[in-house]
Amino acid sequence: MIERVDGDVVAIAEFVVAFLLDVVVSLLLLLGVIVVVLFVDARIGVVLLVYCVLMAVAMLNAQRYAVPAATRVREKFAALFGNLEERLAGAEDIRANGAGNHVVNRFHRASADVYRADIRAERIGGGLFAATSVAFAIGTAIVLGLAAWSQQQGALSVGTALLLFQYTQMVRTPFERLIDQVQQYQKALAAIARIGGLLAEQRTLPEPAKPDPLPTTGPLSIELSNVGFAYADNHEAVLTDVSLLLEPGQTLGLVGRTGSGKTTIARMILRLYDPTQGTVRMGGIDVRNIGSASISRRICVVTQDVHLFAATVRDNLTLFRPGMDDDRLRAVLTEVGLSTWLRGLPKGLDTMLGAQGSGLSAGEAQLLAFARAFLADPGLVVLDEASSRLDPATELHIEEAIRKLLTNRTGVLIAHRLSSLARVDQVAVIEGGRVVEYGRRETLSRDPNSRFGRLLEAAGMV
Ligand SMILES: Nc1ncnc2c1ncn2[C@@H]1O[C@H](COP(=O)(O)OP(=O)(O)OP(=O)(O)O)[C@@H](O)[C@H]1O
Ligand SMILES: [Mg+2]
């Protein structure tokens, strides 16, 4: 996508710049030469003109073969690099699972595709170049022959014949440039059409014309009424008739098997998608009537996989917002139990993390994400718990961090560990995109016939 936008803009820019320099200059030169030759010798001038027209038609036709071949080479290169990037990112998994040979094989095949496409394009390009050279040589020979003939007839002096020859030599460069510009012009036209299409693209989540303000402080209520949802690329309903009500400051635990729709419910609340049925209300307002800026200011989410940026610890915490006090950052890191980790960093808050810096363990990354959430001070926290197992000490840190984070905030906790549910007020059991059980945790856990009660029993927690 970025490559496309970038390529399109560059194509237009190149054409606009080259237009003045190449097209205007070349056209003037070409016309000048033809007019001068017409004046010097009308017959040779006409021959030159006819010759130029024939060459233009032939060369424009030849481009029809050359351009697709060149496009194909670019496509094959894009596939090769995409392939390479993906495999390099997954190098650990590939090596650990012994998929190396297969990956190398695929790399060779992708390289071979590039090689074949490139050979073909070069053949066409080289062939065209050779054909053009031969055609120009023939043209020169014809003009030279005509000039020599005229000179023998006494119609031209040797000097004028030589002059004509020189002029026809000057036709080639502007001519080739013009042909090249026709190609740039076609590319620029296509690029303009594509950019127009991109600019006309509508948001899938329309912003409200007059957004209703969310309360700027304090916990927020959440209400889902009969929410139904299906992902666009897969028409099967992922959520059906989901209704949940969470008072400000309360915590809801979502449990269910993998693929049951828990993360999708969180996405509804964050308005990453709009429900196909029903409504989601936050602080009593339909989320469709709340501006996206307001939602992101008041909700914080810690997901299953924490994304770290190739940036300093400070930037990873503040997400590049300037003006945060270092003391506050340190206090927050201490609060989530990362003070020892911070002290061990070579450059403290200025240590680089992510792709270019040191890596973090899964537990540390989770804790860092909690620290981000603390800094944002949201009214609603959505936690999609990591399903990976952490060591007991880190788990304790995380549980403690969750407890602090949920104090005085509304929380939705997607729990993969039943122990995390000890502090929630309500529990909803999700199955196949439906709420199959919903109620106060205490009530459900006391009822040995409830699904939640049975889950606790199976886990040996009652
Ligand atoms: N972006 C997406 N596009 C299409 N289908 C999706 C997408 N995300 C999830 N799904 C599908 O929606 C269903 C519910 O997925 P969801 O991620 O909500 O499950 P989950 O309960 O969070 O599972 P887990 O416990 O493994 O995290 C699954 O069948 C999944 O394949
Ligand atoms: Mg999930």
Domain count for the chain, please give it: 2
Output the pLDDT for position 92.
Answer: 87
In the reported structure, the alpha carbon of residue 430 is separated from the centroid of ligand 2 by a whole-number distance in angstroms of 12
Q: Tell the residue nearest (CA) to atom 1 of ligand 1.
A: 231
Same domain, 235 and 132: no
φ, ψ of residue 157 in degrees (nearest 5)? -85, 165
229 with 150, same domain: the answer is no
Contact 250, 410 (CB under 8 A): yes
H or E element in which residue 23 lies: none
Residue 178 in contact with residue 29, Cβ under 8 Å?
no
Q: What does the alpha-carbon distance between residue 59 and residue 322 come to, in Å, rounded to a whole number?
A: 57
Query: Which residues make Cβ contacts (< 8 Å) with residue 412, sequence separation at least 6?
Result: 222, 246, 251, 252, 254, 265, 266, 269, 380, 381, 382, 383
Q: Within this chain, do residues 245 and 137 fall inside the same structural domain, yes or no?
A: no
Q: Is 433 left (phi over 0), alpha (psi -120 to 50) or beta?
A: left
Q: How far apart are CA 413 and CA 277, in angstroms?
A: 23
Whether 158 is covered by a domain: the verdict is yes
Q: Are 367 and 398 in contact (CB under 8 A)?
A: yes
CATH number at residue 301: 3.40.50.300
Task: Assign 3-class secondary structure to 153-217.
Answer: HCCCCHHHHHHHHHHHHCCHHHHHHHHHHHHHHHHHHHHHHHHHHHHCCCCCCCCCCCCCCCCCC
* Ligand 2 center from residue 263 Cα (angstroms): 4
411 in ligand 1 pocket by Cβ < 6 Å?
A: no
Q: How far is the CA of 386 from the centre of ligand 2 (A)?
A: 9
The pLDDT value given to residue 192: 85
> Quick one: 277 and 191 in the same domain?
no
Q: How far is the CA of 256 from the centre of ligand 2 (A)?
A: 10
Q: Cβ(283) to ligand 1 under 6 A? A: no
Whether residue 86 lies inside any domain: the answer is yes
Please check whether residue 63 is in contact with residue 158, taking contact to mean a CB–CB distance below 8 angstroms. Answer: no
Backbone torsions φ then ψ of 432, nearest 5 degrees: 50, 40
Amino acid occupying residue 149? W
Q: Are residues 144 and 87 in the same domain?
A: yes
CA of 258 to the centre of ligand 1 (A): 8
User: What distance in Å separates the CA atoms of residue 56 and residue 227, rounded to the nearest whole number?
Assistant: 63
Q: Note down the domain range covering 258.
A: 222-308+360-458
Count of CA atoms in the C-beta half-sphere (13 A) of 391: 6
Name the CA dihedral angle for 305, 309, 315, 321, rounded to a multiple of 10 degrees. -80
Ligand 1 in reach of 259 Cβ (< 6 A) = yes
pLDDT value at position 250? 94
Residues with CB under 5 A from ligand 2 (ion): 263
Residue nearest to atom 7 of ligand 1 (CA): 231
Answer whether residue 314 is part of any domain.
no
3-class secondary-structure state, position 136: helix
What spacing in Å lies between the alpha carbon of 261 and ligand 1's midpoint? Answer: 6
Across the chain, which has 462 residues, the per-10-residue mean pLDDT values are 77 82 85 89 86 85 80 86 89 89 93 94 88 87 85 84 82 81 79 85 85 87 94 88 94 91 92 93 92 88 82 88 87 88 86 72 84 88 76 80 88 84 90 93 88 83 66
340: in domain: no
Our answer on whether the CB atom of 260 is closer than 6 Å to any ligand 1 atom is: yes
Domain identity same for 228 and 290: yes
Type of residue found at 352: M
Regarding whether 226 and 195 lie in a shared domain, the answer is no
Query: Is residue 231 within 6 Å of ligand 1 at its C-beta?
Result: yes
pLDDT of residue 289: 92
Residue 100 lies in a domain: yes
Dist. CA 447–CA 454, nearest whole Å? 9
- Torsions phi, psi for 439 (to 5 deg): 175, -175
Q: Is residue 331 part of a domain?
A: no
Beta pairing partners, 384: 414
Rounded Cα–Cα distance for residues 335 and 378 (Å): 16
Report the run of H or E that residue 47 belongs to, with start and end. Answer: helix 42-89
Ligand 1, atom 28, residue with closest C-alpha = 259
- What CATH number has the domain bearing residue 77? 1.20.1560.10
Task: Indicate the residue among 199, 234, 256 that finishes a domain.
Answer: 199
Reduced 3-state DSSP string for 368-398: HHHHHHHHHCCCEEEEECCCCCCCHHHHHHH
Ligand 1 neighbour 238 (Cβ under 6 A)? yes
Residues 279 and 372 placed together within one structural domain of the fold: yes
**280 with 405, same domain?**
yes
Q: Identify whether residues 103 and 66 lie together within a single domain.
A: yes
**Measuring from atom 2 of ligand 1, which residue has the nearest CA?**
231
Contacts (Cβ under 8 Å, ≥6 apart) of 199: none
Note the ligand closest to the C-alpha atom of 429: 1
* Residue 67 included in any domain: yes
**Nearest in space to 364 (alpha carbons), one of 315, 318, 331, 401:** 401
Answer yes or no: do 154 and 283 share one domain: no
* Predicted local distance difference test score (pLDDT) of residue 462: 63
Final residue before a domain boundary, out of 184, 199, 214? 199
Q: How far is the CA of 6 from the centre of ligand 2 (A)?
A: 34
| pLDDT the model gives residue 11 | 81
* Contact call for residues 372 and 317 (beta carbons, < 8 A): yes
Regarding the beta carbon of 262 and ligand 1, being less than 6 Å apart is answered yes
Is 216 inside a domain boundary? no
Distance of CA 260 from the midpoint of ligand 1 (Å)? 7
Same domain, 161 and 290: no
